């Protein structure tokens, strides 16, 4: 069986309710039955993304997905499967070429760009693998700068920045330049920046991808705390330990979504197909 075969016989989030295996039923009930769930923060209906090309690339096949306020979701998938495409859509950095995306009840598909930008600044914090800090600005300035377009006076911006840096454990590094900070500290500055505007959604694209495992663990512990305080977190990762910490996983493969973490199954299938599956040593 090829990888494609394996993908085809498994249900997708959008289309699998009818024929999926029994163990997916509860998940579909939650996805499809608003009465059974909390308040929706993210609602995708038939959302798809085709990059124009040439040749056109259907990076995300039309999908339904609902994420409620307070959820902690990991999106897992191999390289090129459409993870960043999905994150860019959810983060209002890109508009889908098909379907409807409601964020906190508001239909973003019909919004003007300025309105989308405003909603993004208000509602969404981003954390990326490579931190994206301004090299010649202190930690405080990096965080405060993110509030410049919100009409908040400078003093207040700096005060918020200091508070958020303290929250992520950097009260002793407020005036440090990024070059003098460790990888974990840089990512903490980025988290403080993401939190500055008081978002309801944190979108993280491989936030631990550039960190050693111990540092990654402490960053994940910080995300856990933020989730405990009510933040909705969506994290893209292909790190199993990171995915395990989320309360819900969604697998993306070839632009198709499927509930659950199936990255490992898929790996086992493809590894077996390639004859490279490592078996335990016989004793
Ligand atoms: N701007 C673009 N134009 C055309 N194709 C793109 C563009 N961005 C991504 N793609 C393609 O869409 C697919 C999904 O990409 P991406 O979302 O970046 O995957 P991932 O983040 O999972 O590695 C890939 O085949 C990629 O080559
Ligand atoms: Mg990517």
pLDDT in tens, 206-219: 999 999 999 999 99
CA nearest ligand 1 atom 18, residue: 84
Ligand 1, from 49, 55, 57: best to mutate by most atoms within 8 Å of Cβ? 57
User: Ligand 2 is a single-atom ion; what residues have CB below 5 A from it?
Assistant: 83-84
What strand order describes the sheet that includes 256-259? 124-128, 201-205, 232-237, 72-76, 248-253, 256-259
* pLDDT score of 267: 52
**Ligand 2: centre distance to CA 131 (Å):** 14
Ligand 1: nearest atom to the Cα of 82: 17
CA nearest ligand 1 atom 10, residue: 59
Positive or negative CA dihedral for 134, 138, 140, 145? negative
* pLDDT score of 124: 97
Ligand 1: nearest atom to the Cα of 252: 22
* pLDDT score of 14: 39
Question: Residue 82 CA: which ligand is closest?
Answer: 1
Query: For the chain, which ranges sit under pLDDT 70?
Result: 1-37, 266-283
| Cα angle: 164, vertex 183, 171; to 5 degrees | 30
Q: Classify domain 3-272 by CATH number.
A: 3.40.50.300
CB atoms inside a 10 Å sphere around CB 191: 27
Structure tokens at 255: 């632009």
Q: Residues, the chain, total?
A: 283
* pLDDT score of 11: 33
Structure tokens at 174: 């407020």
**Ligand 1: centre distance to CA 82 (Å):** 6
* pLDDT score of 149: 81
* pLDDT score of 73: 97
Cβ-Cβ contacts under 8 Å for 243 (sequence gap 6 or more)? 74, 76, 235, 237, 249, 261, 263
Ligand 1, from 74, 82, 87, 95: best to mutate by most atoms within 8 Å of Cβ? 82
HEC string of the chain?
CCHHHHHHHCCCCCCCCCCCCHHHHHHHHHHHCHHHCCCEEEEEEEEEEEECCCCCEEEEEEEEEEEECCCEEEEECCCCCCHHHHHHHHCCCCCCCEEEEEECCEECCCCCHHHHHHHHHHHEEEEECCCCCCCCCCHHHHHHHCCHHHCCCHHHHHHHHHHHHHHCCCHHHCCCCHHHCCHHHHHHHHHHHHHCCCCCEEEEECCCCCCCHHHHHHHHHHHHHHHHCCCEEEEEECCHHHHHHCCEEEEEECCEEEECCCHHHHHHHHHHHCCCCCCCCCC
* pLDDT score of 269: 52
Q: What is the pLDDT of residues 13-68, one digit of tens each?
A: 433 333 334 444 444 434 444 445 589 999 999 999 999 989 999 999 999 999 99
* pLDDT score of 239: 86
């Amino acid at each position: 069986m090829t990888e494609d075969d394996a993908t085809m016989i498994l249900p997708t989030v959008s289309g699998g309710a009818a024929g999926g295996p029994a163990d997916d039923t509860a998940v579909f009930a939650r996805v499809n039955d608003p009465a059974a769930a909390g308040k929706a923060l993210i609602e995708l209906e038939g959302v798809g993304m085709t990059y124009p090309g040439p040749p056109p690339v259907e990076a995300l096949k039309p999908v339904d997905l609902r994420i409620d306020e307070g959820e902690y979701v990991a999106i897992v998938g191999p390289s090129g499967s459409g993870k960043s495409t999905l994150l860019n859509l959810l983060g209002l950095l890109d508009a889908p070429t098909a379907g409807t995306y409601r964020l906190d009840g508001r239909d973003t598909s019909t919004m003007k760009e300025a309105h989308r930008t405003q909603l993004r600044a208000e509602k969404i914090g981003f954390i990326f693998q490579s931190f994206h800090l301004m090299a010649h600005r202190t930690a405080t300035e990096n965080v405060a700068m993110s509030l410049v377009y919100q009409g908040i006076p400078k003093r207040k911006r700096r005060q918020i920045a200091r508070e958020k840096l303290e929250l992520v454990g950097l009260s002793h590094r407020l005036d440090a330049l990024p070059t003098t900070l460790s990888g974990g500290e840089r990512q903490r500055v980025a988290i403080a920046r993401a939190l500055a505007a008081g978002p309801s959604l944190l979108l993280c694209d491989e936030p631990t991808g550039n960190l050693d495992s111990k540092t990654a663990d402490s960053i994940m512990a910080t995300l856990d705390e933020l989730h405990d305080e009510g933040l909705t977190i969506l994290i893209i990762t292909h790190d199993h330990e990171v995915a395990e910490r989320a309360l819900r996983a969604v697998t993306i493969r070839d632009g198709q979504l499927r509930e659950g973490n199936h990255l490992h199954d898929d790996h086992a299938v493809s590894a077996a197909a390639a004859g490279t599956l490592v078996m335990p040593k016989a004793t």
